[in-house]
Structure 1
Amino acid sequence: MKIPVKDSHFIILIMLFVFFNGSAQTIRGVITDIETSEPLSGANITIEGSNEGAISDLDGAFLIDIIDWQNNTLNITFIGYQSKEINLAPHSADHVLNIQLYPDHHTLGEITVDGVISNPVRRNGDALFTGTALTSKGLSIGGAPASTSVYHALDILPGVLIEGVDGYGLSEKSVRIRGIRSSFSGMTLEGFPNYGIMPIGARDDIYDMENIESIALYKGASPADLGTATGSKGGAIELRYRRPNEEFGAEVNQSIGNHNFFRAFTRVDLGKTAFGTSAFVSFSATEADKWKGPGKMGPRYNAVTGITQQFNENFEAEIFVNYNTIKRNAYRRLSYSEAINLKENYTKGFSSELTGVASQDFYYYGYNDGTFTNIDFMGIVRYTPDDNTSVSIKGYVSNEEADYDGTVQRGPNFFKTTSFRDISRMGIIPEVQGRMNQISYSAGYWLEIFDNDAQVYNTRIADQGLIPVGYGFFSVNEKKGIIHSPYAKVAYSPGRFNLQAGLKYFHFTDPATDRFNSVSATELSETPNESLYTRKMTHHALLPSFGIGYSLKDNMQLYINYGKNYMRPYMYNPIISLYVNNMATFADAGMDLQDIFDNWKMETSHHFDFGFRYVSNYLTLSPSIHYARHNNVLASAYDSTVELDYFQNVGEQTAWGVDTEFYLHPVSWFTLIFNPTYTNISYDKNLERQDGIIEIKGNQSPATPRFSLKSGALFSMSDMDISLIYKHIGKRYGDATNIEKIDAYGLFDFSINYSFENINIFRNITAGVYVKNVFDKKHIGIINTSDDSRQGSATYFAGPPRILSGKISLKF
C-alpha cells in the first residue's frame, strides 16, 4: 500500500525520535565545593570537542543529553576553583555524577569557553564579576609586544587604547583606559604595588609575560582589596605569577623578526622535592634595531626566580625575585604639521652624527636615550587554619634606577636634560580572607615606606658643543614617605542576588624636603633655599565601593557597580621648576613654594557600571554602560596673584560610554570577535589662562577616540591556530580645543601557530608566525599631550610599519 506523503513525514519523524532516544544518553550530576559541600551555581560543564554542555543551577545540578559519543571527556570549570576532567564510558543507563571541585587559592577564576580571548572575572571572595581576564588564547595572539609589555597583552580588550612607536613593545607607549591615561591606573603583581615617579605610574615592561599566568583588568570601580598603587582613576590591573610546576620541566622560546629583532626566553621548573619545595628560574634577552633612525631598542635582560615551600597542608611560603634592565634610544617626535603630512615625514628620525649646529644637534640620537633597571623582591606567607579561613602576610622590597636623556627647547635655546631617579620602596600587607555561612569577607592593611630621589641636570646644546648648566634645583628629603591603606570587603549571595561592598582608606604622606640651587655647573649652594622648602604634606581619601547583581538565569546576569577611586598628587617637578624660573615674581607676591602645594587636593572620581553578562557554549556577550565623574583634576590655570599659569586642582571631567565584548563560537574551531567601544570624556567647564579663556568645555579629551573597534576571527583546526585581528581607531585630537585633528585608521594583525605533541623528548613544539600591521599602514601611533592642552603643545610619533616575526617554542 502506498503511504501518503504527509503520513510518511510523520513516520520518519517517529523513527528519528526512536532512533535518537535509543542512542542518546543523559548525564546528570551535582557540583559541590569539596571543602564545604556547598552547591556551586554557574559552573561550566562541556563535552570536550563538541558544542554540548550545560551550566549548573542554584542547587549545583546540571543535565546534558548526549546524542553522539564521539568523545567521552567531561570538562568542568568554575570561578575560583581548579578545573576537572572526567572520562565517561558510554552505556544505556543514565549517568548520575557527584562532582567535587577544589578551591584554587592562587589563580583568578575564569569561565573557560573554547576560543574566547577573555572572560569575566571576580576576585577571591567576590560575589560579582567586576573585571575582565585574558585567557591563554587571548595572551597568545599578542605576538612579540605581548611578551614584554603588560599593556600590549591587553590590546584586544574594548575600552583600552594601546599605541606605541616600536613594533616590539620595547619603547614608551601611550595607553588610555576609558580615556584616562595609564599613569593614573593602578597595577599590582600578587598584590604588590607596581609604580614609580617621573613619570608617575606603573612600569608595564619590567616582566616577562611568559611568567605571568593571568591578567585581569578592572576598568571602572576597583575592588577594595585590590592594590592600586599611586591611583585608580583609570581603573586597575592585577597580575598573577605562574607558579613553579611540581614536576621537572623546561621551556625554551626563540623569536626573530625584521629590524634585527631577537628574543630568547628560557624557563626551568625544578620540580617538587620530598621536603615540599618547588622552584623555577627564567632568563630572557631581547633586542631590536629602531625601525627608523639610528639606535637600538635594547638589549633588555630579565631574570626571575620563584620558590614555593609547602610546610604542611595549612602552611606555605613563597618568594619571587624579578630583575629587569633595558637600554634604549628614543624615537623622534613630530610636530602637528609633520604629522598631517605623514607620508613625507613618516621615516624622519634622529640624526646619527653631530653637526656643530645647535638647532640640528638638538635632534642627535645620542642625546635621546636611557638605561632603566628594576629589581623586586616579594615574599608571601599563607596560613589556612581551616577550610573557611586564609591568613597571609605579604612583604616586598623594590628599587628602580634610571638615567635617561632628552632634548627640550626653551625660547631660542636648546638643552639636553639628564633625568635621574632612584626609587626605593618597602612594604607589608597582612590580610585575612574567609567565609561564614553565605558571607565572604576580606580585610587587610597596606603599609609602605618609600624614598623617592629624582633629579634633572641641564646641559645647553651650543654650536661649539655641550655647555654644562647645572641642576635647576636639587632635592633632599628629610625622612622617608609613608602610605597607610586599610581595607575591608564583604560579599553575600542570597538566592539569585549577588551583593558586595567594600571600603578603603588611602593616606599618603610626602616627607619634608630641602632644595638647593646650583651656584655653578658643578656646585650646589651650601644651604638650602628657604623659599623652596616644603614641609611634610599629607593627603587622604575614604573610598567606598558597592555592587549588586541579579542572575536572570544561571548564565545570565545584570549588575550595577559603583566605586570611588583616587589619584595621588603627581606634578611636583613642573611646579617647582616654574617657581624657580619665576622666583622673583612669587617673592613679590609673598608666596613660597609651600603656598602652592597647600592648595592641592587629592583627585577623586566616582565610577558607575551598568552591565549585562551572558555566557554559553556558543556565545559570550558582555556590554557595559559606564559613567564617571572626576573631581579636583589637576589642570594648568591662571593665578591672578602672580599672573602666571600653573597646575591647580580646578578641573572637573565627565566621562561616559559603552564597552562591549562579543565572542561568537558557533563551532568548536571558529570564534568571531567583535569588541566595539564608545568613549566620551570632556571637561565640564572652560579654563582661564594668562592669555585668555581656553575653550575646552564639552570637547573630547585629547588622544582619545570616541569610537574604536577590536574585531577578528580565530580558527583552531587540529594542531593549528590562526588569528586575524582588525583594530580601528577613530579620529583623535592633539589638543583639548579639538583643533589639531588626527584621522582615523585601521590595522590588521595576523598570526598562525602549529603545535606538535610528544615528539621524542619534547612535550610540545610550537612554531608560529606573527605579522603586525599586515598592510603596512602609515599612521600616528602616539599623541603626547595633556588633557587640558591647547593648540601647538602636543607632539606626535609615527606608529610602527609592518612587523614580521617568527617564534619557536620547545617544552621538555
Structure 2
Amino acid sequence: MPAVISCDKMMVRCSALALAAGLLAVPAAAWAQQVTADPADIRVIGHRDPEGLLPDQTDPKAVSAISADFIVKQAPTLNAFQLVNLLPGANVASSDPYGLSTSSSLTLRGLGQDQIGVLLEGSPQNDIGYYYAYPSQFADAENVKQIALAQGSVDIDSPTVGGAGGLLSLTLDDPKATRQGLVDLSLGSYDLRRVFVRVDTGTIGNTGLKAFVSYSNTRADNWRGAGYDTRQHVDAKLLREWGNGNRASLALSYNDGNTSAYPSPTLADWQAQGRGFNHDARYTAGNTNYWRLYRAPFRNLYASAPVHVTLNDRLTLDSTTYLQFGYGNSPYGTELATTGNFLGSEELAQPIALPGAVDGVATVLGNYTGDQMRTGNVSKLTLQAGIHRITAGLWFDYGTDRVAQTYTAVDADGDPTDRWGYRSKAIRTADGRLLAYENQRTVTVTKAFFLADSIALGPRLTVDAGFKGVNLLRNGRNYLPGPQTRVRKDSFAALPRAAIHYALDDRQQIFANVTTNFRTPNEFTLYDSYAGGVVSTRGTDALKNEYSVSQELGYRYIGPSLSLSATGFHYKFRNRQLATVVDVGGAQVNSTLNAGGQTSWGVDAEIDYRPAKGVSVYVSGEYLRARIDDDLPVGGDYLPTRGKRAVSSPTVQIGGGGTYDDGRLFGSIAGKYVGRQYATFMNDESIKGYATLDLSVGLHLADWIDGKRTDLRINAINVTDPHVLAGVQSVSTNARDVVGRGGTVISGSAPAYYIGSGAAVIATVSRGF
C-alpha cells in the first residue's frame, strides 16, 4: 500500500510527492511526475490499514477486498464465501460453522452464486454445466494473499460466463524467498481436529525458482444431526521472476472431501422441528433418511499457469493456461422395486436384481455423479501508445461434463457398497445396461475475443471503452432410450462496456461505468427428463439467454486514517434465470426458472477508520430494491408477479467489526445483519432478518520464545447462536395456491431453506520454523 505522507515545510512538495507515490488512480505512464525530496523533510502520518479490509482501489468500478492480515485472524477452516461476509452486498448463507459442507450459498446484490464468477490465480472455478462454485474446495486460507470482490461486474479479460453478480478473485501467497515452514494445529467444538503444514523452498540454487507446498487434514462432527466431515487438501505454487516485472508461475490446488449435505427444511418443517430436522442417526430396514446415504465425496484438481512478460517498453503479454479435473457424488436415499421400472421411455420387461430386497423393494443409494474436465487459455496484449492503453485478447475454453443419476446397493447396516457412485458398480438392468434416471454427456466450447482502450485525457481523467464477443456452444448426448439422442445449443453475445474515472484531488475519486453481461441456460435445460416412461420435462434449446445491463456511480476517499467508498448501482435484466432444485419421482433434479425481466437498484458503502496504530474499525452496508418486471408464465396461465420483490434479495444488510493488533495481543469482532428474504416470486413466503457475531482473541508469542512466529488464537463463530433460517436453498413460484391472470388456480409448492449454523469455538496454535 502506498504510504500516506505529509510535509513539514512546503505544501507544494507534499502534494507532488503524494501524487508520485501513486495515490491517484490514473495511468501513470501518460503523466507521471518526477519529484525529489529531502527525507528529513518527510514524516509519516496517519495509520495504514492493518487488515486490508478497504485497500486502496483505482478501478472505475466497485471493488472490495480482504487481505492475509485479516484472514490470518479468522478461524482457519472458514471458506472464501464466509471470509467475505462482512463486505458490502455479500449475503452468505452457511449451514456449517466450519465451511466444510457444500450446503451454503453466496448472493451479491441479490444475485446468486451461479451469477458470480470465481477465479483462483486467474483460472475459473465455476462449474461448467450450471455455473456454481464450491468454496469448500478452494485453497486453504493460510495460502491466500487476498480475496477481491467486485460486486457489479467482471473484468473484460476474465475467463467467466455469467458474471452479472460480480467477480470473486482469490490470489495465492507467493513462495517465500528464504527456506521456512509453518504448522497450524487446531482443536474445536464438535470434535474438530485440523492440521496444516506448509514448506517454502526459498530460492532454489541459481535457478531463480522458488516454491511452496502445503497439506491440511480436517475432521469435524456435524454440528446438528449425525455424521461427520473430512477434508484433505494440497496447495502448491512454483514461481520464477526476472527483470522488468516478468513473472511466470504454476499453481496447483487439490481437494479430497467427504462432507455431509445438511437437509434443507420447508417453512412447515422448520416450524415443526427446528434444528431437529436432520438425517437419522440409525438405520432401519426401508429407511431412506439415514445419514450415511447423504455424504458427498468429491475430488478436484485445479491448475493455473499465469505468465506476465514485458516484450518492450510499450508492450506486455499476459497469458493464463488452466486445467481442471473433478469427480464427485451428491447422493440421497431412495427406494427401488425389482419390477415396474423404466429406462428413459422404455419399460423394462425383466425384473432387476436388488440385493436386500424385501417383497420386491429395497433401499438404495441414489447417486448424482459428475465427472468433469476443463481446460483453457486467456491471453492478452497491452500496448501503451501515447495517451492510449490498448488491450486485445482471446479466450478459449473446452469442457466436458459426464452426469449420471444411478443407483447403488445398500447393505443390511445401511452402508452403501460404493459411496462414489461409480457407474461400473451401479445397479444394472437384466440385460446389463446401466439403470439410470439421467445419463448424459455434454461438451461445452467457449470462444471469446475482447478489445479495450483506456484513454488518459489528463492527469486526473481516464475514459475506458471495451467490447467482448462471446460464443458458447454446447453439444451433448442423452444416453437414455427415448425420443432424444443429441442436443445442441449455440449462443453468441455482444458485450460492450464503458467507464470513466476522475481524481478530484490526491484523496478523492469518482467513477461511473456501464457493463453488459449474458448467461446461457445451464446444460440441464437441454435434456429430457422421464418419469414413469414418459417425458416429464421437455428439454429445449429455445430458452432465451439472460442479458443484463448494469450501471454504477461511485465515490472513494483514501485518507491517512480514514477510507470510504460508496457506490450506487442499477441493473436491468431480460430473461432473468434462477436455479432451483425439484423432486421428480424421488430424484433431485436441477431446474432453471425464467423469471422474465427484473430491475434492481441500490447503494453499497463501506468505511474503514484507523484511530491508532494496529486498530481498525470497519462498517459496511447495502440498500437494495429489486423488483420483478413481468408476470410469470406457469402452465397455460400467468402468476401476477409484476412488481413483486425478487427472491433472495434482502432490502438491508449491515456489517461491522473491528480489529486490534499491538504486536503482542490481537483480536477481532465481526457482526452482520441480513434483512428479510423472500423465497417465492409471489412473495407469499419469506424468512425473517437475522444477525450473527464472531469474535477472536490471540497472542503473538515469538518474543517470549525464540523470535520465530508463534501465535495462539481462539475464534468464536456465531457466538449468539441464533436459531434462524439463513437463506433460500430452492425457490418456488408460489407457496400458496394462487388464481392466475387467466382465472385458473395455480397450485403452490414449498421452498426450502438453509438452517443457520450453530456456535463453535476453535483454538489454533501457529508455529513458524
> The TM-score by the shorter chain falls in which range?
0.7 to 0.9
Give the partner amino acid of 2:237.
G
Question: Distance between the aligned counterparts of 1:796 and 1:311, measured in 2?
Answer: 51
Q: 1:280 to 1:620 in 2, by over 3 A?
A: same
8 A contact 1:117–1:137 mirrored in 2: no
The residue that corresponds to 2:440 in the other structure is: 475
1:42-95 per-residue CA deviation (whole Å, 9 max, x = no partner) reads 269xxxxxxxxxxxx9857699xxxxxxxxxxxxxxxxxxxxxx9x6x6xxx45
Give the structure 2 partner of residue 196 of structure 1: 127
Helix, strand or coil at the partner of 2:175: coil
1:724 deviates by 1.6
Q: Following the alignment from structure 2 to structure 1, what is the Cα–Cα distance between the partners of residues 617 and 477?
A: 56
1:717 deviates by: 3.2
Match of 1:135 in 2: 67
Match of 1:541 in 2: 493
Matches within 5 A, 1:299-318: 300-310=231-241, 316-318=247-249
Matched position secondary structure for 1:346: helix
Cα drift, residue 382 of structure 1: 3.5
Give distance in 2, aligned partners of 1:805 and 1:373.
26
Q: Evaluate the alpha carbon distance shift between residue 471 and residue 576 of structure 1 in structure 2; reply closer, same or farther with a 3 A threshold.
A: same
Equivalent residue for 2:292, pick from 362, 366, 371 = 366
The residue aligned with 2:455 is 492
CA gap 1:257/1:116 in 2 versus in 1, 3 angstroms: same
Q: Which of residues 42, 46, 57 is equivalent to 2:23?
A: 42
8 Å Cα contact 1:151/1:175 also seen in 2? yes
Tell me what 1:612 maps to. Answer: 555
1:121 maps to what in 2? 57
Alignment check: 8 A CA contact 2:528 2:536 kept: no
Question: 1:723-742 alignment to 2 at 5 Å?
Answer: 723-742=668-687
1:120–1:132: 8 Å Cα contact kept in structure 2? no
- Report the equivalent of 1:802: 759
* Pair 1:154 & 2:80 matched: no
Aligned position for 1:664: 609
Instruction: Pick from 406, 422, 430 the counterpart of residue 457 of structure 1.
Output: 406
Instruction: State which of 320, 326, 329 in structure 1 corresponds to 2:257.
Output: 326
Q: Is 2:392 aligned against 1:443?
A: yes
Alignment of 1:754-769 (within 5 A): 754-757=699-702, 762-769=707-714
Shift of 1:311: 6.2
2:283 — aligned with what? 354
Q: Is the 1:575–1:646 contact (alpha carbons within 8 Å) kept by the matching residues of 2? A: no
The aligned amino acid for 2:49 is V
Work out the CA distance in 2 between the residues paired with 1:722 and 1:758. 18
The one-letter amino acid paired with 2:283 is: L
SS at match of 2:470: strand
SS of 1:448's equivalent in the other structure is strand
* Structure 2 unaligned blocks of 5 or more: 1-6, 26-30, 337-360, 417-426, 430-434, 581-589, 737-748
> 1:136 Cα deviation (Å)?
3.1
Structure 1 residue corresponding to 2:187, chosen from 235, 256, 264 = 256
Equivalent position of 2:546 in the other structure: 603
Alpha-carbon distance change, 281 to 647 in structure 1, aligned in 2, over 3 angstroms: closer
Q: How many angstroms does 1:303 deviate by?
A: 1.0
Check conservation: 1:278, 1:309, Cα contact below 8 A.
yes
CA 1:650–1:258 in 2, change beyond 3 Å: closer, same or farther?
closer
**Any idea what the Cα deviations from partners look like across 1:432-466, whole Å, max 9, x if unmatched?**
23423333232221111211111112579999999
**Structure 1 residues 26, 514: closer, same or farther in 2, change over 3 A?**
same
- Aligned pair 1:144/2:95, yes or no? no
Q: How does 1:11-26 map to 2 (within 5 A)?
A: none
Amino acid across the alignment from 1:542 = A
**Matching residue of 1:507:** 471
* TM-score where L is the length of structure 2: 0.82
Give the aligned CA root-mean-square deviation in angstroms: 3.5
1:401 aligns with 2:352: no
Query: Could you tell me how far 1:682 is from its partner in structure 2?
Result: 2.7
Q: Structure 1 CA distance, aligned partners of 2:723 and 2:169?
A: 33
Moved more, 163-172 or 307-316: 307-316
Distance 1:686 1:636 in 2: 18
Are 2:517 and 1:565 equivalent residues in the alignment? Answer: yes
Aligned to 1:391: 317
What is the CA distance between 1:168 and its match in structure 2?
0.2
Write the distance in 2 (CA, Å) between the matches of 1:585 and 1:310: 57
User: Which residue of 89, 96, 99 corresponds with 1:166?
Assistant: 96
**More relative contact order, 1 or 2 (CA 8 Å, 6+ apart):** 2
Q: Distance in 2 between matches of 1:646 and 1:419?
A: 14
Q: Could you say which residue in structure 1 is the equivalent of 2:665?
A: 720
More deviation, 791-800/274-283: 791-800
For 2:255 and 2:116, how far apart are their aligned partners in 1? 21
Contact 2:564–2:607 under 8 Å retained in 1: yes
Q: Match of 1:169, as an amino acid?
A: G
| C-alpha distance 214-695 of structure 1, shift in aligned 2 (>3 A) | same
Contact 2:614 2:661 in 1 (8 A): yes
Which of 133, 148, 152 is equivalent to 1:220?
Answer: 152
Return the alpha-carbon distance in structure 1 between the equivalents of residues 334 and 622 of structure 2: 36
Q: How does 1:681-696 map to 2 (within 5 A)?
A: 681-690=626-635, 692-696=637-641
Distance 2:180 2:413 in 1: 59
CA contact (8 A) 2:177 2:202 kept: yes
Give distance in 1, aligned partners of 2:511 and 2:405. 48
Q: Which amino acid aligns with 1:401?
A: Y
- 3-state DSSP of counterpart to 1:656: strand
Q: Secondary structure at the match of 2:642?
A: coil
Question: Match for residue 105 of structure 1?
Answer: none
- Amino acid in the other structure paired with 2:83: A
Corresponding residue SS for 2:647: coil
CA gap of 1:704–1:409, structure 2 versus 1, over 3 A, is: farther
Query: How many angstroms apart in 2 are the aligned matches of 1:767 and 1:741?
Result: 42
Question: Which residue number in structure 2 is paired with residue 211 of structure 1?
Answer: 143
- Determine the C-alpha separation between the residues in 2 that align with 1:183 and 1:315: 34
Give the 3 Å change call, closer, same or farther, for CA 381–706 of structure 1 in structure 2: closer
Matched with 2:584 is none
Cα distance between partner residues in 1 of 2:591 and 2:208? 58
Q: In structure 1, what is the equivalent of residue 302 of structure 2?
A: 376
Displacement of 1:780: 1.3
Letter of the 1:656 counterpart? W
Q: Cα distance 1:513–1:584, how it changes in 2: closer, same or farther (>3 A)?
A: closer
Q: Is the 8 A contact 1:736 1:790 kept in 2?
A: no
- Residue 462 to residue 255, structure 1, CA distance change in 2 (3 Å): closer
Which amino acid in 2 is paired with 1:475?
Q
Q: How far off is 1:401 after superposition?
A: 0.5
SS of the aligned residue for 1:338 comes to helix
- Flag the 1:440–1:648 CA change in 2: closer, same or farther, 3 A: same
Residue equivalent to 1:424:
373
Number of positions where the alignment pairs a residue of Structure 1 with one of Structure 2: 689
Asked if the contact 1:116–1:671 (Cα under 8 Å) also holds between the matched residues in 2, the reply is: no
Classify 1:648/1:710 alpha carbon distance in 2 versus 1 (closer, same or farther; 3 Å): closer
CA distance in structure 1 between the partners assigned to 2:191 and 2:127 by the alignment: 31
Superposed CA deviations along residues 28-47 of structure 1, whole A, max 9, x for unmatched, are 468789xxxx9455269xxx
Provide, for residues 397-434 of structure 1, a one-character-per-residue CA deviation record: whole Å limited to 9, x for no partner: 21010122024799xx9985311111011112222234
1:628 Cα deviation from its structure 2 partner: 0.6
- How far apart are the structure 2 equivalents of 1:277 and 1:516? 51
TM-aligned CA deviation for residue 574 of structure 1: 5.9
